[in-house]
Chain A
Amino acid sequence: RKEVEQDPGPFNVPEGATVAFNCTYSNSASQSFFWYRQDCRKEPKLLMSVYSSGNEDGRFTAQLNRASQYISLLIRDSKLSDSATYLCVVNKAAGNKLTFGGGTRVLVKP
């Protein structure tokens, strides 16, 4: 079993719609959680950290469920520019080594 698992998608989303997807992690000792965004043939960039209480950044909302060991990302009012691969990332805080999921591809269409 992979340490961090994601549905690869693609999630085809009409412009303006809401899309949500999850990521599960296997190590209960994981301490920090992030969503990174990666555009085609580009480097990953931090989208947002995920806090235990849940957090929001504009149209993006992230949730953490430690009991069930999953993280979610919700995108409201999807824009064409939201088309990308979203990487779920977990940090066990040992040397700050991050473990990446395989990514969820989102395609927003007009």
Chain B
Amino acid sequence: NAGVTQTPKFRVLKTGQSMTLLCAQDMNHEYMYWYRQDPGMGLRLIHYSVGEGTTAKGEVPDGYNVSRLKKQNFLLGLESAAPSQTSVYFCASSNPGQGARDTQYFGPGTRLTVL
């Protein structure tokens, strides 16, 4: 039981390049999330999904796209990377239906630098 995994762990891009971050969870969770964490800013929600085939915008969605083709996977895409997207990206998953006290389980993060 690996929990939530993310690939890659590190990546350096040049401005304008594209890439996809992969998140996978083996806990059969319905909800999945992508966050970014910047110094002093806390975690901010980029996009999230409440089930296979669904996606929704979070607090800071601009410049990112997501897809949830399979329940266990949630992909985050950067079509044209910008230096402002240099950050640590965390994926999380949860299984609501246990009241409002759902616990989100986080992956280990991806450190992205855009030059």
A residues neighboring B (CB under 8 Å): 4, 8, 31-32, 34, 41-46, 49, 87, 91, 93, 95-98, 100-103
B residues neighboring A (CB under 8 Å): 31, 33, 35, 40-45, 48, 50, 56, 58, 90, 94, 96, 100-104, 106-109
Task: Please determine whether A97 and B48 come into contact, CB atoms closer than 8 angstroms.
Answer: yes
Q: How many A-B residue contacts, CB cutoff 8 Å?
A: 51
**Interface core residue of B43, B44, B45, B94 (most chain A CB under 10 Å):** B43
Chain B residue nearest to A6 (CB atoms) is B42
Task: Please determine whether B48 and A49 come into contact, CB atoms closer than 8 angstroms.
Answer: no
Task: Please determine whether A95 and B48 come into contact, CB atoms closer than 8 angstroms.
Answer: yes
Task: Please determine whether A43 and B45 come into contact, CB atoms closer than 8 angstroms.
Answer: no
Chain A residue nearest to B108 (CB atoms) is A43
**Which residues of A sit under 8 angstroms from B40, Cβ to Cβ?**
8, 102
Task: Please determine whether B45 and A49 come into contact, CB atoms closer than 8 angstroms.
Answer: no
Task: Please determine whether A97 and B58 come into contact, CB atoms closer than 8 angstroms.
Answer: yes
Q: In angstroms, how far is the closest chain B Cβ from the Cβ of A31?
A: 5
Task: Please determine whether A101 and B100 come into contact, CB atoms closer than 8 angstroms.
Answer: no
Q: How far is the CA of A4 from the CA of B42 in the complex (A)?
A: 10
